[in-house]
Structure 1
Amino acid sequence: MDRGGVVTTTTGTAGVRAPAWRGGFGRLWSAAVLSSFGDSLRTAALPLLAVTLTDRPLLIAAVTACGYLPWILFGLLGGAVADRVDQRRAMWTVDALRALLVGAFAVAVALGHASIGLLVALAFTLTALQTLFDNAATSLLPVLVDRDALGSANTRLMTSQRIAGGLVGGPVVPALLAAGAAVPFVADAGTYVVAALLVASVRIDAPERKPAPAGSTLRREIAEGLRTLWRDRALRGLCAATALCNIGMGAQLATLVVLVTGWLDAGPVGYAAAGAAFTVGGLAGGVVNGRVVKRLGAVRAVLLAGAVQIAALVVMGTVRSLTVLVAALVVFGLMGMVWNVNTTTLMQQRSPAELLGRVASAFRTLAFAGVPLGALLGGAVATAWGLNAPPLLTAAFFVLALGALIPVRKPDVPVVAPDDDATTAHAAR
């Protein structure tokens, strides 16, 4: 199909649309999966490294908090830039820079210069670069596949990333750490290099861009993206709900390592098992998502996902058993995938192509804004009320998130222009 000079390919039968593996999507998929593998090595190794440097939960949580703070500071700017530049070039350039940074950090760790301050600086800088990368990737995907195949493309990307990032990457971290504290970071830097080469090799005709109006500035373009998000009732409600969930997730992510290694006394192996369980759940979510959406509709699927996740979080915070925690994380990961696929696809489908980078950045920035706060809250709650308190705090924020979805709880209506009063839209099936 020809759209704006960009040739996109899909496969499918009986009305089911799916992206073709050949061409740009296959390379983008390969780069995303490889990067997720490397990221999982780093994100699992950083908290394990942090607990060797300090036993204070608040300082450990600060590493996670600073890994999300750049979304508040630079997220909107990253989206506006992504709509102005060649997204493919932006992605491989960012990956090349991240390879250099992580490689330098690995050298510092190998020489014994690791510190909490250095971990915080690395987390902050990598995420600052990620604000441009993620918004560019979100805008590039609809160029590579038809819009009615976005649901399938997002499911394949997210499921494969979960396999590489959790099922494959997370469990090998203890073995890599045994070989040396710097080894996971060396491997991560290598994956960035290969991913940059893969993205750089994608050959597409850039879509035509309308000239910017006279006097247009980044500030005005950012404001236009925010207005587009605000006018769409479905996106507005989903964004508010996701922001509340992410406050809770900040607390959960920042303190999971102390929950497993402290409250459950399960050590690094238990922490790896927890990460693998979350991954397995995500894989199951990728398998069942299409059927869940077909039966319930996109918004009701998100409501179901949130309700089940609340129950799983309560179990995590009240039952002192690694086996039970692992089972709860499987369920939590399954429903998390249902949530993520549907919110991402809905955003891409409803946004004008020329505004997608800005709408995506506005959604992400508002959604991620609570993560640093949640991470610090998690550390404070763990210090004040016990290492098992953060999952219960997360559950409370998920309850509030479901309340935010009440105004958009009606099932699907047809996809229309994003500035109307529609309640929601069909997700790709």
Structure 2
Amino acid sequence: MTTTEAVAARSVCWRGGFGRLWTAAVVSKFGDALRLAAMPLLAASLTDDPLLIASVTACGYLPWLLFGLLGGAVADRVDQRRAMWAVDLLRGLLMAGFALAVRQGLASIALLLALAFALTTLQTLFDNAATALLPALVPEGALAGANARLMTAQQIVGAFLAAPVVPVLLLAGAAVPYAADAVTYLVAAALIASLRLPAPERAPRPAGSTLRAEIGEGLRRLWSDPALRRLCVATTLCNIGMGALIATLVVHVTGWLDAGSGAYAAVLTAVGAGSVTGGLVARRLAERVGRIRSVFIAGTVQAGCLLITGTVRELWVTVAAMAVFGVMSMVWNVNQATLVQERSPADMLGRISSAFRTLGVAGAPLGALAGGAAAAAWGGNAPALLAAALFVPAVASLAGLIN
């Protein structure tokens, strides 16, 4: 392969399929961020019960635990492009109906819970299908760049663009953010439906093959690959730590650091800005040191950031540490997603990627509970130290993969 051919193989072409998929993902993420920012406010206006308000968020996790593996198996059976636009069309109609209910004053906590559950159930199929579709749109050498562009753009619109827009939309009416979300789903569905891809080629399934058997096959394939197995275990441990940190970060900043709500916003902004920077450097770092080593470095630096956050009682130190933490989070995420795509057979990618997502979602609420208990027992900095303690064995499990 010539130098020009090698560069082309690593380059992401915006024209055609990837550009449309990127636009659909960014538009849809913007709508999701609008809804997620507005929904807690709506829930708080409907009830004073903290448990019911928190249950709306919990319903966003539960479908992954119930249907995550099933969504991956279905994604491997169907035409991913058709599945994605059909799911977005259905989600757009659901959101339009919900916006109408809010407009007519018919919203209730029960309706919020049902909507959150339904949207995330559909997302289990959409996300796994999207992961499986991307390698069909870009060369294998360009997967890291494509993942970085997708994740970075979604981080920008989710963390920085949507939140300031929500108060403006709410001035026009309580239903407007949800109507806007419905429009973004429908736009994304149209973009994905416009992709011109041949139907995926798959070997005929054995007679009598069931979804349950295919899920088991995917899990066995994941576990038989040493790199994917260790990466999956490491990701699960890190997500438990992340759940502990995120759930109690406000306690850490406003309590242990004795800072105000503005300081909490500054820490969140630092993480978001760091994530954007991480998306810009993730591919270059992997090209220099290798993909597995990039994940190892990212986890090691993150563990150090957590240790500093949990021991140094200075706001500026926490802001700086969380900014670096955000950079390394994106480096980890981009290279993890790319490793899964590169090392998984095309006809099993949905099932293997769904295992990662399901375990990751399971770790987040578990970590949130552990973080809350640690903060109550030992102080507001304890969750950060707990997270650091979980990152250490996670990173250690990857050390054996580095040549």
TM range (shorter): 0.7 to 0.9
Q: Does 1:228 align with 2:226?
A: no
User: Which amino acid in structure 1 is aligned with residue 71 of structure 2?
Assistant: G
Distance in 2 (CA, whole Å) between partners of 1:356 and 1:97 is 24
Distance in 2 (CA, whole Å) between partners of 1:180 and 1:330 is 35
User: Which amino acid in structure 2 is aligned with residue 167 of structure 1?
Assistant: F
Distance in 2 (CA, whole Å) between partners of 1:49 and 1:320 is 35
- The counterpart of 2:302, out of the listed 289, 305, 309, is 309
Q: How does 1:119-158 map to 2 (within 5 A)?
A: 119-158=112-151
Q: 1:394/1:349 Cα in 2 relative to 1: closer, same or farther (>3 Å)?
A: same
Deviates more, 1:143-152 or 1:180-189: 180-189
Distance in 2 (CA, whole Å) between partners of 1:29 and 1:298 is 23
- Name the residue aligned to 1:282: 275
Give the deviation of 1:312 after TM superposition.
2.7
- The counterpart of 1:203, out of the listed 196, 201, 204, is 196
User: Which amino acid in structure 2 is aligned with residue 302 of structure 1?
Assistant: V
- Name the residue aligned to 2:349: 356
- The counterpart of 1:217, out of the listed 189, 199, 210, is 210
Partners of 1:19 and 1:153 within 8 A in 2: yes
Q: Gapped runs of 5+ residues in structure 1?
A: 1-10, 412-429
Give the deviation of 1:291 after TM superposition.
2.9
Q: Does 1:71 align with 2:64?
A: yes
Equivalent pairs, count: 398
Give the deviation of 1:261 after TM superposition.
7.0
Distance in 2 (CA, whole Å) between partners of 1:115 and 1:394 is 36
Distance in 1 (CA, whole Å) between partners of 2:383 and 2:31 is 27
Q: Gapped runs of 5+ residues in structure 2?
A: none
Partners of 1:240 and 1:367 within 8 A in 2: no
Q: Does 1:37 align with 2:30?
A: yes
* Structure 1 residues 351-391: Cα deviation after superposition (integer angstroms, max 9, x where no partner): 11111111211222233322232233344445555555443
Distance in 2 (CA, whole Å) between partners of 1:201 and 1:261 is 48
Partners of 2:88 and 2:185 within 8 A in 1: yes
Q: Percent identity?
A: 64
Partners of 1:64 and 1:372 within 8 A in 2: no
Q: 1:197/1:252 Cα in 2 relative to 1: closer, same or farther (>3 Å)?
A: farther
Distance in 2 (CA, whole Å) between partners of 1:22 and 1:253 is 37
Q: 1:399/1:50 Cα in 2 relative to 1: closer, same or farther (>3 Å)?
A: farther
Partners of 2:9 and 2:140 within 8 A in 1: no
User: Which amino acid in structure 1 is aligned with residue 211 of structure 2?
Assistant: L
- Name the residue aligned to 2:73: 80
- The counterpart of 1:189, out of the listed 164, 182, 188, is 182
Give the deviation of 1:123 after TM superposition.
3.0
User: Which amino acid in structure 2 is aligned with residue 165 of structure 1?
Assistant: G
* Structure 1 residues 254-288: Cα deviation after superposition (integer angstroms, max 9, x where no partner): 44466667776644x66655444322211211222
User: Which amino acid in structure 1 is aligned with residue 73 of structure 2?
Assistant: A
Distance in 2 (CA, whole Å) between partners of 1:70 and 1:218 is 17
* Structure 1 residues 109-154: Cα deviation after superposition (integer angstroms, max 9, x where no partner): 5566666655444333222111100110011111112222211211
Q: Does 1:403 align with 2:396?
A: yes
Q: 1:122/1:144 Cα in 2 relative to 1: closer, same or farther (>3 Å)?
A: same
- The counterpart of 1:245, out of the listed 238, 244, 247, is 238
Q: 1:60/1:246 Cα in 2 relative to 1: closer, same or farther (>3 Å)?
A: farther
Distance in 1 (CA, whole Å) between partners of 2:377 and 2:16 is 53
- Name the residue aligned to 1:423: none
Give the deviation of 1:243 after TM superposition.
0.8
Give the deviation of 1:96 after TM superposition.
1.9
**Root mean square deviation of aligned Cα:** 3.1
Distance in 2 (CA, whole Å) between partners of 1:312 and 1:178 is 40
Partners of 2:79 and 2:200 within 8 A in 1: no
Q: 1:67/1:393 Cα in 2 relative to 1: closer, same or farther (>3 Å)?
A: farther
Normalized against structure 2, the TM-score is what?
Answer: 0.86
Q: 1:122/1:399 Cα in 2 relative to 1: closer, same or farther (>3 Å)?
A: farther
- Name the residue aligned to 2:329: 336
Distance in 2 (CA, whole Å) between partners of 1:226 and 1:209 is 19
Distance in 1 (CA, whole Å) between partners of 2:314 and 2:170 is 25
Partners of 1:64 and 1:253 within 8 A in 2: no
Give the deviation of 1:17 after TM superposition.
1.3
- Name the residue aligned to 1:169: 162
> Which secondary structure state, in structure 2, belongs to the residue aligned with residue 19 of structure 1?
coil
